Structure 1
Amino acid sequence: MSEKSRGGGAAAAPRRPRTPSAFLKFVMAVSGVFLLLYVVLHMIGNLKVFFGPESIDQYAAWLRTLLEPALPYDGMLWIVRVVLLVSVIAHIWSATLLTLRARKARPVKYAGGSHKVKGSYAARTMRWGGVIIALFVVYHILDLTVGVANPNGVHLAVYDNLTAGFAPDRWYITIFYVVAVVALGFHVRHGIWSGIQTLGWSNNSREKTIKAVSTAFAVVLTLGFVSVPLAVAFGLV
């Protein structure tokens, strides 16, 4: 008698090997480091708006000539964009798989009710924070990179684009920007803490210090980003 007839049907197809969770955590941590580095540099560049139009406009032009003539005009920026895109895809992919596995590994409801198991505030807002950040990034590119969603939208006229984009009558854009940056702050705080644990740099004796540093870093980053739209909206720039 064949294996097929004894088993009562066709043999089950072999399962594809599952990507190890440790590897997914490593991918999420490393991709997060690249994204965080970019975010910090981007914030520093944004703060040049407080030094006037010439400062930030020259900075934007300088970015496009980095490593010339070894690289063509805009060459370094395109390398950065590709690295960022790969990092974003890797970050979302690993985070999604880890979230789905976590849901399968633990019950989401209590025996006598429908309440979900509670986690920390930051951990529970990571998913929606990520969605807000993703939507904001799309708008931010259309607004201040491509220029199609900006009232001014002139290439390399960064100062004028910023002041037009966050003008007082566009208060709703400023609010959206602030909400997205606050979500980014929570994301960064939790991400730094999780990343340090994943990379094995954490222990019980350092836990309070790491949490304090993560929080302080996220607060500084958030204040640095929101200072620009708020300064424009209130006429300080």
Structure 2
Amino acid sequence: MTVTNADRESIRHGKINEQPLRPRPAYPSWAIKLVMAITGLLFALFVVVHMVGNLKIFMPAENGVAAMDEYGSFLRTVGAPIFPEESILWILRIVLLVAVIAHIHGAITLNSRSGKSRGKFKRTKLMGGMDSTATRSMLITGIILLAFIIFHLLDLTMGVQPAAPDSFEPGAVHNNMIATFNRWPVTIWYIIAMLALFLHLYQGIRLAASDLGITGRRWRAVFAFLAAVVPIVVVLGNIVMPLSINLGFVS
């Protein structure tokens, strides 16, 4: 804050300071929140599509080819022969990687600025209930999800042991999923990550409406509806899959 039309005598005696309370940041907070909202909605769309793809584990095989393997082949060959195999897939991976980096950078920056502005004073008398829980846990759930993403890539994408099972085989998506979720620690870790995803999606979609500058009552109601429905659908769809494999309903 800068004082305008200040009393020069007060300034001379140090009672008023014309200097800003803090240096102007290179990137305003509203711009960082906008980037986080866009990247967050991109992740929400991705996890919905990813969940739908994972549910193909329940579909029967056709001509001896598992539905998951056919789906994995489609992802690797989409765009061919116009584009080289896996080129579209790698473009999507790069876009998601850039979005992850931007999202993490924004979260760290905003958390740092919030801490500096608040100083030694802590937030009190939050709204309570689910909103309060989700708000307080955003940073924690974000860290859990980052750790899960790294593990998930090492496990089912790259096949790096010990994250991946010994029987990992590139391209054999169905058998790799069966092998990895037959391990109870992996299944439990997956469920914990999905619960963190529930809280993160719930609060993230709600915040996106404000960060995108949406003020209309109808659109805010749409975002509130999505914040309530999308996390439940995604988490239930993602939890039923590893549990079904681990309990022997899918083989």
With normalisation by structure 2, the TM-score equals: 0.80
Counterpart for residue 236 of structure 2: 223
1:150 has 2:158 as partner = no
- Is contact 2:159-2:170 (8 Å) kept? yes
AA partner of residue 160 (structure 1): N
Paired residue for 2:124, among 106, 110, 117?
A: 117
Q: Is residue 95 from structure 1 mapped to residue 102 from structure 2 by the alignment?
A: no
**Corresponding position of 2:54:** 46
CA contact (8 A) 1:49 1:56 kept: yes
Contact 1:185/1:222 (8 A) holds in 2 = yes
Structure 1 residue 117, shift from structure 2 partner: 3.2
> Quick one: distance in 1 between partners of 2:226 and 2:93?
28
Paired letter, 1:35 = F
| Distance verdict in 2 for CA 1:219–1:108, change over 3 Å | farther
Structure 1 residues 80 and 210: alpha-carbon distance in aligned structure 2, compared to 1, 3 A threshold: closer
Aligned to 1:64, the other structure's residue is in SS state helix
Asked whether the equivalents of residues 147 and 155 of structure 1 are also in contact (C-alpha less than 8 Å), the reply is yes
How big is each residue's C-alpha offset from its partner over 1:20-60, in whole Å with a ceiling of 9 and x where there is no partner?
A: 11100111011112222211111110000000351110010
- State the identity %: 40
Count of paired positions: 216
Take 1:32 and 1:210, find their aligned partners in 2: how far apart are those partners? 13
Q: Which runs of 5+ in 1 are unaligned?
A: 1-14, 111-115
2:91 to 65, 68, 79: 79
Structure 2 counterpart of 1:8: none
Contact 2:205 2:226 in 1 (8 A): no
Look up the SS of the partner of 1:200 in the other structure. coil
Trace 1:24-35 onto structure 2 (pairs within 5 A): 24-35=32-43
CA contact (8 A) 2:198 2:231 kept: yes
Q: Any stretches of 5+ residues in structure 2 without a counterpart?
A: 1-22, 127-131
For residues 69 and 207 of structure 1, do their structure 2 counterparts lie closer, same or farther at Cα, with a shift above 3 Å needed? closer
The answer to whether the aligner puts 1:160 opposite 2:172 as a matched pair is no
**3-state secondary structure, aligned to 2:77:** coil
Give the whole-Å Cα distance in 2 for the aligned partners of 1:32 and 1:73.
28
For 2:222 and 2:84, how far apart are their aligned partners in 1?
Answer: 44
The whole-number CA distance in structure 1 between the counterparts of 2:193 and 2:157 is: 17
Preserved contact between residue 64 and residue 74 of structure 1 (Cα < 8 Å): yes
Letter in 1 for 2:28: P
CA contact (8 A) 2:35 2:103 kept: yes
Match of residue 187 from structure 1:
200
Distance in structure 2 (CA, Å) of the matches to 1:178 and 1:108: 36
